[in-house]
């Protein structure tokens, strides 16, 4: 072969030898120093040309016969997932199941998986806050109201001072249009935190939706000025298709505060809704009265 071929063969042989040397693994005891004896761990300072073996002999990489070899124990395998992790997976599965883009064929499977994850978390930790609340919210969102209330009660039995969850149960009853139940849970939440404004406001709305206007207005006035309270009562009445009672509340709101813009705009909107569509002046042809 020519000289170029010989050089290429030599380069290939050197690269192969280098790769083989780099791939050789060394085992070091945790108790040994980082740098074996005979080396100088300073950047830029050449290492000793006479390399000692890791085992204290010459240049051989293998230990002398009979030398005990330290065996590194395998890392312990991970156990079951923590309850918090199971709840996190269940939350994701529940949201995916209730997503309107999820095909119906996948929805039931995701719901079952979410419920199972909550239950497994409770099997590991029966008093886990996230798991108990997750299951209560799960049943609420799939409209199994009895089971939802059951789990909310279990949670509040273990954590009776959680006013936010007590308010959450009241809001759940409001979504179910159980206004009396919502008021009862608001009362429970107010026993925990008597000055909670958000709970009082929820109670006032639920009283009004239940047809108990005086109670609703009384509670509303405890947390806001009269004009705003009457304005919100007017909103409830309008939602219940009682325009005359709604208009009366707006008039009383403006009597209490003539500058209350929300009530004035709502009253104008309510009056404008009763004007026939054909009275749009832009569409009426002008005629000389003479």
pLDDT, one tens digit per residue, over 74-128 is 455 566 789 999 999 999 999 999 999 999 889 999 999 999 999 999 999 999 9
- Of the listed ranges 54-68, 166-180, 227-241, the least confidently predicted one is 54-68
Fold that domain 82-160 belongs to in CATH: 1.25.40
Rg of the chain on CA atoms, in Å:
39
CA angle 126, 130, 135 (to 5 degrees): 75
- Helices of type H across 125-259: 129-141, 145-158, 163-175, 179-192, 197-209, 213-223, 226-239, 243-256
* Confidence class for position 271, pLDDT limits 50, 70, 90: confident
The domain limits of the chain are 82-160
CB 110: neighbour CB atoms within 10 A? 19
Q: Is the pLDDT of residue 196 over 90?
A: yes
Q: Is the pLDDT of residue 177 over 50?
A: yes
Q: Which helix (H) or strand (E) holds 106?
A: helix 104-124
* Confidence class for position 260, pLDDT limits 50, 70, 90: very high
């Amino acid at each position: 072969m020519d000289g170029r071929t010989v050089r290429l063969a030599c380069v290939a042989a050197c690269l192969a030898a280098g790769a083989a040397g780099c791939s050789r693994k060394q085992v070091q005891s945790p108790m040994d120093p980082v740098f074996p004896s005979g080396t100088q761990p300073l950047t830029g300072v050449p290492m000793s040309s006479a390399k000692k073996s890791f085992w204290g002999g010459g240049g051989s990489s293998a230990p002398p016969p009979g030398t005990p070899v330290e065996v590194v124990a395998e890392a312990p395998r991970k156990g079951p997932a923590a309850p918090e992790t199971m709840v996190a997976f269940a939350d994701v599965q529940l949201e995916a199941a209730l997503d309107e883009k999820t095909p119906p064929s996948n929805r039931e499977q995701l719901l079952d998986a979410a419920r199972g994850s909550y239950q497994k978390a409770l099997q590991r930790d029966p008093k886990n806050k996230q798991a108990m609340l997750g299951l209560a919210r799960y049943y609420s969102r799939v409209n199994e109201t009895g089971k939802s209330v059951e789990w909310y009660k279990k949670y509040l039995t273990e954590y009776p001072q959680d006013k936010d969850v007590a308010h959450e149960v009241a809001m759940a009853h409001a979504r179910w249009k159980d206004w009396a139940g919502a008021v009862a849970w608001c009362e429970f939440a107010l026993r925990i935190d008597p000055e909670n404004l958000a709970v009082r406001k929820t109670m006032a709305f639920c009283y009004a939706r239940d047809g108990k206007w005086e109670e609703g207005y009384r509670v509303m006035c405890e947390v806001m000025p009269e004009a705003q309270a009457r304005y919100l009562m007017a909103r409830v009445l309008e939602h219940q298709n009682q325009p005359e009672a709604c208009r009366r509340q707006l008039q009383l709101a403006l009597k209490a505060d003539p500058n209350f813009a929300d009530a004035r705009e709502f009253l104008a909107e309510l009056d404008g809704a009763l004007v026939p569509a054909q009275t749009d002046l832009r569409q009426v042809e002008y005629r000389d009265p003479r």
